[in-house]
Amino acid sequence: MPDSPTVPPGTGALSDLRVVEFAQALAIPYCGKLLSDLGANVVKVEPPRGDTYRLQNRSRVKHEGRDFAINNRGKRSLCLDLTSPESHEVIDALVREADVVLVSLKGSDVPRYGLDYETLQRINPGLVYLENSPYGSQGPLAQDGGYDVVAMGLSGMSALLALPDENGDTPRFVRPALADIVTGILSCLGVVTAIRHRDRTGEGQRVETSLLHTSLGLISNMFYRFEDYEGASMDAFSEILAGLREEGAGFADQQRVMQDHFGGWPIGNIYFRHYRTKDGFLSVGCLSPRLNQRFREATGLVDPRGAKDFDEGREAGQAALQILKDEAEALFAERETEDWLATLREHGVPCARMNFPHEIFDDPQARANGFIEDLEHPWLGPYQVVSSPLKLDATPLVGQGPPPSLGAHTDEVLGEVGLAAEAIKRLREAKVVGRYDE
């Protein structure tokens, strides 16, 4: 298999930045991809056998997993055995020439490999150092490795979003990988902010993100605790939950009781939800009295809450709201999606077809805005992906090249950071750098 083409000089707002990435899997490689799309020169440091993500959704081509390809385009690959004492010669050379270092490793491995901020900052005082940990750098889990499935479970997000398994006993893991992707975006934001600070002051700094903190942030609009308002309710649910677990209730039952306790889906919700139509599904979003009125005008539904004597807290009020919900669902099921969308839009109701993920590749709205990108992989062929979710007029985000083959740029990068050919040869012979299968 031929090596990856050499990545051309970057174009974009960050084309003068050198980034070194010590990370595997998804969250921080996604950050590195965004930085590359912004023009940065990103060198991905991989173990001699490669980032484990190369094994996910692997293809017929060795070391070329499809998941890896999506999250590592435009980077260069350098293979380095961090467990070798001689690796510090390479690390020092890379860090001296870097503007940004991205680190996402097991907490106990970071100082063991000499990749902690204090060590690297002594080599390059102006360095912007991004450290990502699964659960935060302090506390009893600080030294543990982890993945988004664990962080989302710990945060409570999985209790909200996970689907029960076929028996209703156990939650399935949540997909998409929300904690990973959003952590990557926040990490990129943190790096760019720190670079802005360095440009103004000359001072580098550490930026810290974590999968757990991201997960908590993602549910922060739903779960908070004002003691005078939510305190008693949360304490009461803790007792209810303990009782359910003692009885052996499965996840589906526990999740349903949680949703009922905290008011997850009001009975009379007809304005902000998904509907089944005759041939599919659609989504409506009306969160103001004016939009609610437009929805009623479009559908002809009569909301009993408009009556002066309506009392939602009484049994009759709850029954009326259940009837309203049933009427709305039956009404939408009578007509096809496009027919309903035309009617709703005519009345100014925010709405759209509810797609399944694979349908977005042909969606005219996504295509018109360039949200879907057509690419060519040098060995895997043509493919389609979601483009970087950010647009800049003067310095647009552009994929800087294909994903790198394993270790393809090792000698090239080492030469750029000042290692002589003899030193590179010595390190290769000692198997400090380079692929194991070479």
pLDDT of res. 240: 93
pLDDT of res. 425: 94
Mean pLDDT for 266-280 is 92
On whether residue 403 sits in a domain, the answer given is: no
What CA–CA distances, in Å, run from 377 to 5, 44, 66, 389? 11, 18, 10, 21
Mean pLDDT for 192-199 is 97
| 328 in Cβ contact with 272 (< 8 Å) | no
Q: Which residues pair with 43 in a beta bridge?
A: 20, 76
Identify the weakest region by mean pLDDT among 167-176, 353-362, 393-402. Answer: 393-402
Closest C-alpha among 271, 305, 276 to residue 291: 271
287 and 424 housed in the same domain: no
Q: Name the strand (E) or helix (H) holding 20.
A: strand 18-23
30 and 175 housed in the same domain: yes
pLDDT of res. 438: 53
110 and 71 housed in the same domain: yes
- Across the chain, mean pLDDT equals 89
162 and 204 housed in the same domain: yes
103 and 123 housed in the same domain: yes
Between CA 200 and CA 433 the distance in angstroms is 37
Out of 153-167, 271-285, 312-326, 381-395, the most confident range is 271-285
Question: What is the CATH number for 90?
Answer: 3.40.50.10540
> How sure is the predictor about 342, in pLDDT bands with cuts at 50, 70 and 90?
very high
114 and 150 housed in the same domain: yes
On whether residue 304 sits in a domain, the answer given is: yes
281 and 318 housed in the same domain: yes
| 391 in Cβ contact with 34 (< 8 Å) | no
Question: What is the CATH number for 342?
Answer: 3.30.1540
pTM over cut 0.85: yes
| 135 in Cβ contact with 210 (< 8 Å) | yes
In which domain, by residue range, is 292 found?
A: 272-360
On whether residue 251 sits in a domain, the answer given is: yes
pLDDT of res. 394: 81
Percent of the chain with pLDDT over 90: 57
On whether residue 366 sits in a domain, the answer given is: no
74 and 194 housed in the same domain: yes
- Tokens representing 58? 């692997």
CA angle 28, 34, 38 (to 5 degrees): 145
pLDDT of res. 392: 83
Mean pLDDT for 35-61 is 87
On whether residue 396 sits in a domain, the answer given is: no
**pLDDT tens profile 357-393:** 888 888 888 888 888 888 888 778 888 888 878 888 7
> How sure is the predictor about 264, in pLDDT bands with cuts at 50, 70 and 90?
low
* 299 has a pLDDT exceeding 90: yes
291 and 257 housed in the same domain: no
Return the amino acid letter for 280.
G
pLDDT of res. 7: 45
What's the total number of domains in the chain? 3
On whether residue 158 sits in a domain, the answer given is: yes
**pLDDT tens profile 8-38:** 555 789 999 999 999 988 999 999 999 999 9
425 and 289 housed in the same domain: no
pLDDT of res. 63: 73
Cβ-based burial of 334 (10 A; exposed 0-12, middle 13-18, buried ≥19):
exposed
pLDDT of res. 59: 65
**Neighbouring C-beta atoms of residue 90, cutoff 10 Å:** 25
On whether residue 246 sits in a domain, the answer given is: yes
48 and 134 housed in the same domain: yes
On whether residue 389 sits in a domain, the answer given is: no
Percent of the chain with pLDDT over 70: 96
Given 325, 360, 395, which residue is the final one in a domain?
360
**pLDDT tens profile 110-159:** 999 999 999 999 999 999 999 999 988 888 888 888 888 888 898 889 98
pLDDT of res. 92: 96
280 and 190 housed in the same domain: no
